[in-house]
């Protein structure tokens, strides 16, 4: 067996815009733990918001990010070390390709005990809590005994393995929409997650699927992945067009995946009365709207969507059956040492998914 190094390179977040590459001790497997050599770890929109100091991550006396911490929650890798009992606990062997849920559940709170582990009250998340749940912007990473670890078949490509976490989240968001055959669905946002949602919504065979984004390159991919119509709200009046296509009523289901406050206000205006509004994306600042639209004017069904509970096997199965594609989603890959350049690239208009690859 290959001898593992004592040290590794990792990105360490000390505070907003204070991230550094350092040589640190490689994690060593304790009882029930699994060490992976990271294959790749994506840069998420939430990572960018955290880097730039969003109060959601750094605000208050007890900030969400527990620095110094290694970020990164869109990871996969290869098992290189198993702690005592880990092979039996997780059903793993050295050399298996694996990933796990972004959340590290406590297993003790009311949500964990009722099977709703993704809403764990403690809510430790890989890439945000130091010592407990270090992330994947590093050469090696530790999985907890409490993590549910998923094996990745050899049939999945590097690109497909790299986007398992965001697409698992996409599955959950689409499930929250309860999409029916006769539904007119509007999806706002065609980033990595949105492009996954396009394909997943299409598998639900709604009456019509319209995708909104201000990036025409992403809209081209959305069309390729199954959107019936793509609209750039900067170039066209999207609300007017949706109303015209639905006899003035508005869409039945609206999924917000833009990360921009306008995605919310736009959706509340274009959705019909008694419609289903799925809020997925994370915002860098507070969003305000006329709250009475939800109740008095439209009696909307507002549904949040958080993480990808029980959906990793679904994504793996859809990839294996050729019903889901990652083609064109991964746009750039950087070594860990070049994380600053990777973060800058991830914010460029033509980027979709940027990866760090040790």
pLDDT tens across 157-177, in order? 999 999 999 999 999 999 999
% of the chain beyond a pLDDT of 90? 93
pTM listed for this prediction:
0.96
pLDDT (tens digit per residue) in 302-323: 999 999 999 999 999 999 999 9
- Are 134 and 126 spatial neighbours (Cβ–Cβ below 8 Å)? yes
**With bands split at pLDDT 50, 70 and 90, how would you rate the model's confidence at 1?**
low
Distance separating alpha carbons of residues 152 and 66, to the nearest angstrom: 30
**With bands split at pLDDT 50, 70 and 90, how would you rate the model's confidence at 282?**
confident
Of 94, 77, 8, residue with least CA distance to 42: 77
CATH of domain 172-304: 3.40.50.720
Distance separating alpha carbons of residues 103 and 275, to the nearest angstrom: 30
CA-CA-CA-CA torsion sign (132, 133, 137, 141): positive
% of the chain beyond a pLDDT of 70? 99
Q: What is the mean pLDDT of residues 58-74?
A: 94
Asked: is 7-163+326-356 a CATH 2.60.40.420 domain? The reply is no
Structure tokens at 47: 């990572």
Q: What is the mean pLDDT of residues 100-122?
A: 97
Given a cut of 80, is residue 2 above it in pLDDT? no
Given a cut of 80, is residue 210 above it in pLDDT? yes
Q: Where are the domains of the chain?
A: 7-163+326-356, 172-304
Given a cut of 80, is residue 284 above it in pLDDT? no
In 164-197, which positions are buried (b, 16+ CB within 10 angstroms) versus exposed (e)? bbbbbbbbbbbbbbebeeebbbbbbbbbbbbbbb
pLDDT (tens digit per residue) in 126-143: 999 999 999 999 999 999
With DSSP H G I counted as helix, E B as strand and the rest as coil, what are the percentages for the chain, rounded to 5? 30, 25, 45
Distance separating alpha carbons of residues 148 and 118, to the nearest angstrom: 11
């Amino acid at each position: 067996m290959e001898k593992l190094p004592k040290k590794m390179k990792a990105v360490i977040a000390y505070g907003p815009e204070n991230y550094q590459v350092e040589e640190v001790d490689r994690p060593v497997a304790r009882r029930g733990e699994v060490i992976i050599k990271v294959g790749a770890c994506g840069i998420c929109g939430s990572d960018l918001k955290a880097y730039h100091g969003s109060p959601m991550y750094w605000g208050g006396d007890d900030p969400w990010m527990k620095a110094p911490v290694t970020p990164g929650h869109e990871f996969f890798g290869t098992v290189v070390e198993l702690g005592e009992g880990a092979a039996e606990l997780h059903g793993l062997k050295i050399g298996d390709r694996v990933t796990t849920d972004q959340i590290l559940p406590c297993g003790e709170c009311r949500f964990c005990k009722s099977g709703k582990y993704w809403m764990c009250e403690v809510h430790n998340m890989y890439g945000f809590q130091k010592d407990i749940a270090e992330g994947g912007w590093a050469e090696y990473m530790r999985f907890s005994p409490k993590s549910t670890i998923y094996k990745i078949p050899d049939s999945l490509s590097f690109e497909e393995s790299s986007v398992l976490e965001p697409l698992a989240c996409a599955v959950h968001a689409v499930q929250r929409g309860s999409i029916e055959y006769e539904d007119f669905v509007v999806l706002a946002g065609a980033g990595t997650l949105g492009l996954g949602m396009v394909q997943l919504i299409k598998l639900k065979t709604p009456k019509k699927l319209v995708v909104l984004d201000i990036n025409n390159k992403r809209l081209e991919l959305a069309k390729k992945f199954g959107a019936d119509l793509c609209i750039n709200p900067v170039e066209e009046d999207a609300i007017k067009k949706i109303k015209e296509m639905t006899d003035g009523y508005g869409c039945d289901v609206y999924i917000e995946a833009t990360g921009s406050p306008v995605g919310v206000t736009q959706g509340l205006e274009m959705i019909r009365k008694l419609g289903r509004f799925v809020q997925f994306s994370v915002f860098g600042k507070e969003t305000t709207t006329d709250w009475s639209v939800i109740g008095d004017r439209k009696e909307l069904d507002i549904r949040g969507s958080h993480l990808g509970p029980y959906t990793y096997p679904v994504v793996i199965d859809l990839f294996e059956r050729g019903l889901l594609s990652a083609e064109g989603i991964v746009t750039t890959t950087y070594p860990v040492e070049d994380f600053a350049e990777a973060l800058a690239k991830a914010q460029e208009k033509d980027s979709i998914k940027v990866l760090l690859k040790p």
